[in-house]
Structure 1
């Protein structure tokens, strides 16, 4: 499996770029999975639902399945958050895994960046960032700067990097 990340600060355009890249690579005939890091607690099910009741009763894992999809929820309780490598090992094989977040991990990344957010570039201090996807900016860094809205060009860059 090839792995490539999209990173950046809040409101930089990461999620929009991720969704466009998934569609672009799928359109090129590749199978794609994604991992998204959340900095907050989240739930996939809701109070009153059977799966929620199973978890609340103390189940370590709950697998919810239908004819359309399935989801496996694992409670960490007091265990540490799994590493990116541990999470990647849980995925079924695909051509490409796109990762949103995990700024400090060692996989190659494109940094989404918007001047108006007030955040500095991450790229200058991070050799894992191979390019910056920005809106109308040049000369930001020694890395290639790609137009944040030019999804095919960003996908081409990633494909060349990974030999896809």
Structure 2
């Protein structure tokens, strides 16, 4: 299944997660189904020592599926496997109108860059044509469309136009 995807990238503390959260709220509020993919550091964990699912994993289970009346979650242990590419992970998602991806800045999908001056980092957009717009907390020099970091409506309008929704 080919998903419509749009990324949010930026350096640490640039406002990626807040922007993602606001975009999900705004876009789902317009009636679209949205899923998200977040790239995390390799050591992240979603279950905790002592819990049954954690014990199953430690015992050697390759996949552990947790299910309740409210949600289900599938954990897959990579063990010695390489981290799967984004495309393989997207194939595991149910169909939705839009998948917003946080991170994966080296992948080829279109992205908006979250930028905060205080981080002292350079713009990613300068050297990355896949960054289609910049959402910044300060005026910046860029040849891409520039949005206020907190102008969620305008950023959502831009993304939805870009993906044809």
Do Structure 1 and Structure 2 share a fold, with TM-score over 0.5? Answer: yes
Give distance in 2, aligned partners of 1:27 and 1:56: 40
Using the alignment, how far apart are the partners of 1:48 and 1:114 within structure 2? 40
CA-to-partner distance for each residue in 1:35-76, whole Å, 9 max, x for gaps? 000124111111111111100000000000000000000000
**What TM-score results when the alignment is normalised by the length of structure 2?**
0.97
Misfit runs of 4+, over 6 Å: none
Q: CA deviation at 1:135?
A: 1.0
Identify the residue that residue 104 of structure 2 maps to in structure 1: 102
Q: Compute the displacement of 1:100 (Å).
A: 0.2
Aligned counterparts of 2:118 and 2:64: Cα–Cα separation in 1: 42
User: For each residue in 1:114-140, what CA deviation from the matched residue of structure 2 results, as whole angstroms up to 9, or x when unmatched?
Assistant: 1110100010111100000001314x2
1:31-70 equivalence runs, <5 A: 31-70=33-72
- Count residues in correspondence: 163
SS state at 2:60 partner = coil
User: Aligned residue for 1:144?
Assistant: 145
Counterparts of residues 71-86 of structure 1 (less than 5 Å): 71-86=73-88
The structural deviation recorded for 1:11 is: 0.4
SS in structure 1 of the partner of residue 101 of structure 2 = strand
| Partner SS state of residue 100, structure 2 | strand
Task: Say if 2:164 is the partner of 1:163.
Answer: yes
Unpaired runs of at least 5, structure 1: none
The whole-number CA distance in structure 2 between the counterparts of 1:39 and 1:73 is: 15
State how far apart, in whole Å, the 2-side matches of 1:114 and 1:66 are.
39
Secondary structure, counterpart of 1:5 in structure 2: strand
RMSD, matched Cα: 0.8
